[in-house]
Amino acid sequence: AKRIRDKEAAERQEAEKKKREEEEAKAAAEQAEREAKEKQEREARKAREAEEAAAKAREEAEAAAQAPEETPTEAEPTSMEGVEAAASATETPAEPAAPAAERVFITIRGRQLDITDLGIDRDYIEALPEEFREEVITSQFADQRAQQRAEARQNGTVPTEISREFLDALPPELQQELLASEMRERRQREQAEARRQRHAQGGQAAPAAQPEEMTQADFFATLDPAFRQQVLMEQDENLLNLLPEEIQREARELIGERPRHPRVRQMGDQLATAADQLRALRDPRGARLDMPERSRARPVVQMLDKPGVATLLRLMFVSLHHRAKSSLHGILSDVCKNTQNRAEVISILLSILQDGTIDVGAVERSFAQLSLRAKQVNGSKTPQPKRALTEVAQATELSPLNIVQHCLGTLSALSVDNPKVQTFFLSEHESSIKTKAVKKGKGKESKASRYPLNALLMLLDRKVITENTGVMETLAALLSRVTQPLTQLLKKPKEPEAEPEVVEPPAAEPETAATAPDVVPPAEQAAEDVPMQEASVETTAEPSSSETVTAPAPVDNEQPEGPPVDKKRRELEPPEIPDENIRLVINILAGRECPSKTFSDTIDIIRHLTAIPGTREIFGKELIVRAQELGESIVTDLGDLASQIDSAKTGVELQGMALAKFSSSGSQQRKLLQVLIALDHLFDPKRMQVQQATIDSSADSKLKEDILTTLSESKTFEGLWYNLSLCLAAIRRRGNMITVATILLPLIESLFVVCRNSALKETPAIVAAPDATVSTPPPEARMDGLFFTFTDDHRKVLNELIRNNPKLMNGNLSILARNSKVLEFDNKRSYFSRKLHTREDRTVSHPSLTLNVRRDQVFMDSYKALYYKSPNEIKHGKLNIRFNGEEGIDAGGVSREWFAVMARQMFNPDYALFNPVASDRTTFHPNRLSDINTEHLSFFKFIGRVIGKALYENRVLDCHFSRAVYRRILGKSVSLKDMETLDLDYYRSLVWILENDITDVTFETFSVEVDRFGVVTTDDLIPNGRDIAVTEDNKQEYVRLVVEHRLIKSVEGQLDAFLGGFHDIIPAELVSIFNEQELELLISGLPEIDVDDWKNNTEYHNYQATSPQIQWLWRAIKSFDPEERAKLLQFVTGTSKVPLNGFKELEGMNGFAKFNIHRDYSSKEKLPTSHTCFNQLDLPEYESYEHLRQQLYTAITAGSEYFGFA
């Protein structure tokens, strides 16, 4: 049944589809028949019209031929002649006259249009909507005109003009469109005719018409009429002057009807400026002096008087939604383009912030005073205050905090839109700003009150402001922006003192400083203010506090029409800011909470204000005072926390008990960190961008030294760091409270910021160190000693913090790179990779490195393809490897294989570049005789680049070099221990010299003999060394020199070339954080070490497998992480490489040599020692597991610097 239903449904669908196709075919046939019929009618109509036009043309030609034969003598007979001729022609036709054709009219936009001559069917046009009728008529008319022009070209005549009656009947838009098209066609005809004439005069045939660039007139003619009107209305006067006259007339008529949109006007101004510059460049006579008047400063008229401004600013007391607030800011921005309006707006806003936001009563009084000002007009009486106060209760609907936020947001928006608002705060104005009493006298107080910047700074003393995070963020951003022009004081060039400076009186132009060329950006110099057109400043009964800044009346209100007089404009002068106002800036850091954005703005404020002489010292002393206050409040809490860490059972319990004071975003430790960072920025020339020419460097250095002394010698900070160390030690002992250390991270960062300001800051990175030492010696400075002691004691906690958040090494903890031995290998590698891939040169794009290589010639093919590439191309270019004759797309795997093959072929003995060391056949040292290969230095440089590229791409290479090579890469000097793996016999002879008295033994001098292919030469280790004997007194120097010669000097050229290529990719300062063991692990990777296989292939001498020391040893090895196991293997065997078939094939000096452990019968306090040529570990007889593990760990991390007999 289902199949039957499906079959019936399919048949029905098929029938419906067939019926639908038949209907569509029938409709298409009817449409085609109708179109064919219309086409025949149209062709017949055109033919009939053509015959009528030809007959009419013949009649006119005959009439024109008969007219010269008759010479009328009077006007009346002449005029009657045409009538008689016409009458006779009508009475005696040559053939029966056809009936007059019916005229076809159609309505277009309410107008009757005769379309008889267009040949459009009445029924067809009436069936169309009106908007389509216009298109059909325009298209038909264009076709008809094109046909007429073609006939005219064939006959050699000029096409007839458009009928005026037809044009008048059209709507204005269609008229303009048809006229524009006609003008364009006429212009093209004239250009074509001019070309034909030019070629005719030259005796050449006219070339075929070529496409030409469209002119401006042609472009405007192709536009839609409505759009063309809009474009023409928005053009600048200078741009209109470039257009044809008819378009200029049309544009000027339109401009008189409607004002231009500001945004389009701005675009027009920019286009006009570009046109002026182009004309000046094209004029060989230096047309820059004759630039049009438009390039001068454009005056900005005053839009509002004082009551109008007051009326507008009453909206500060009204709650506005976002869109209304944005509109208000836009209106005020336009109003503030005028000098007087700007002064009035800012003065009222500052007045509201000062006096109208203390409490609700102050809000009402401020609104009442503003209402009085809004009702005031010139010559009017003072409004009744009672009436104003009755309106206050209804109008003020915001709290004081909301009004503060509204006013600050408005000032911030104005300062963004208009740079002159910024400089207004820094220039002197007549005002009545209330300031605190100043000890230095009333003169300074009076002058400071004239700078609006002080009104903003005094807001930082308001509790209602400092306790609100959002308001503080807005205020900090505003202060940062308005103080930014002060940085120009640092860049001001020195001028000869003998040259007097012309300074206009402040009363003549209150904003002279705001228009100084070194303050206002060039983009803003195009708008100049028009002075306020008021005869005098009205004196009213308003309270003085309602008007903070009053702009003085201008002396000269007339705008000069001639060129501006060249006079030296007054430069920006440092504003007068009382010391207590400068100190208030630190309130932002010590506020309730200081988010990162607010903190960044505060640092900018401090940086800007330090351009004023003397402010750096004020900031420094105030920051020290705040830091000590915060430190005193933290010391006690830290002491309580240390004791509670030991007594708490779990970390969760501790967090609930004692960490509430440390974990909040507004905690005292975070405030302390921000204050100390501000100090760091204050005395860092790179961050503050301080120029030596503007600051007394000696005074600045003394101030920095005094502040650092205060930090290092303060009992408060000494107790703070001591208690912090106690807490971290307790955390380390508990082992499961790393979250507590994370909460204390701001205090740890504070310590490192203080240390960063010490002498350690100027110490360069360790690139070239003296001879091997156990650890970095602590500096003599107290803070430096504190830094090294603190980091050594708490290395485990610090590494765990960095491991949990690697980005800490990009911040204040980056100073740990100065004591890199406390960092564990994984943290070093993470820091190295992140710094390597975030350098600035990565912003430049580089093409891919495509290599097509033969598998058996990978090294040579790659060398030829890459050697002449630039370092940046090799470093940043993406490898795309293809092996000849093999299919494969390089998505990473082929490149990885290429690195593996390169690591094998670079040690190919045919190239004579490297020799295996004596201890094993898998570790290599440069061949001193490699110059037998003429290209050996370029090969070494290429190998250095390949290894650097592998590090950059995070690839590991199966290549191992001698310790001397790794130490040379790190810039360290070599030691006698490094000679052991290279030449064991020579190493033993040098050890004998050091261990024995060589008095009266004269078999050695300060020289060495070098065998070069059978030719023996003598090289002096010092000048005339072959004549200087080695004695007991100078044997230490001899051993040092001969080791350096054998390992470094003999292959110096090879190593320099290798390092040149390596440092092309990897900066020396980045790789210097590793030691030679870690560098090998970085290049070759951490090996997979099977401890059980290692244990099963170990031999014991004077020990048994059951000895306690052996049991403790393997227990310690199993407790090590992979990095520490690899370091132990390096310490004993000289390499971290594990043989492919396990430890049973461990390489020694004379072939396979198993790992072996010998009993050391010397002191039990001695560190374990090793002999890498024999894979031998000498283990003292320690008495406990803890002692053995500690000594073994010390040996593999620090003791590797010593040679075996130490």
184 contact partners, CB below 8 Å, separation of at least 6: 217, 218, 221, 222
Distance (Å, rounded) from C-alpha 823 to C-alpha 815? Answer: 11
Assess contact for 971 and 1059: CB atoms under 8 A: no
- Among 940, 866, 955, 872, CA closest to 907: 940
Instruction: Name all contacts of 56-59 with Cβ < 8 Å and 24+ positions apart.
Output: none
Q: Phi and psi (nearest 5°) for 1164?
A: -80, -5
Q: Distances from the Cα of 241 to the Cαs of 232, 235, 236, 276, 1140, in angstroms?
A: 12, 10, 9, 12, 85
| Residue type at 575 in one-letter notation | P
Q: Where are the alpha helices (DSSP H) in 867-1018?
A: 871-876, 893-905, 936-952, 963-969, 977-982, 984-995
Q: Are 541 and 382 in contact (CB under 8 A)?
A: yes
Q: Which residues contact 231 (CB under 8 A, 6 or more apart)?
A: 220, 223
Q: Which amino acid is at 696?
A: D
What is the C-alpha to C-alpha distance for residues 699 and 708, in angstroms, rounded to an integer?
14
> Buried (b) or exposed (e) across 805-828, using 16+ Cβ within 10 A?
eeebbeebbebbbbbbbbbbbbbb
- Give the sign of the dihedral formed by CA 1045, CA 1046, CA 1048, CA 1051: positive
Task: Please identify every residue annotated as catalytic.
Answer: 1173
Cβ atoms of residues 425 and 482 within 8 Å: yes
Question: What are the backbone dihedrals phi and psi of residue 621, each rounded to the nearest 5 degrees, phi first?
Answer: -70, -40
User: How far apart are alpha carbons 946 and 423 in whole angstroms?
Assistant: 56
Q: How far apart are CA 94 and CA 16, in angstroms?
A: 65
Reported residue count of the chain is 1206
Give one DSSP letter per residue of 495-548, joined into a string: --TTSPPP---TTT-TTTGGG-TTTS-GGGTTEEEPPP--SSPPP-S--GGG-S
Name the burial class of residue 728, with classes exposed (0-12), middle (13-18) and buried (19+) by CB atoms within 10 angstroms of its CB. buried
CA 1069 to chain centroid, in Å, comes to 25
If you compute the radius of gyration of the chain from its CA atoms, what whole number of angstroms results? 47
Cβ contact 604:618 at 8 Å: no
Position 1166: which residue type? K
What CA–CA distances, in Å, run from 1188 to 1166, 1167, 1192, 1198?
10, 9, 6, 15
Token pair, residue 802, equals: 């960095």
Cα(1071)–Cα(969) distance, integer angstroms = 8
Q: Compute the distance between CA of residue 724 and CA of residue 267 in angstroms, rounded to an integer.
A: 62
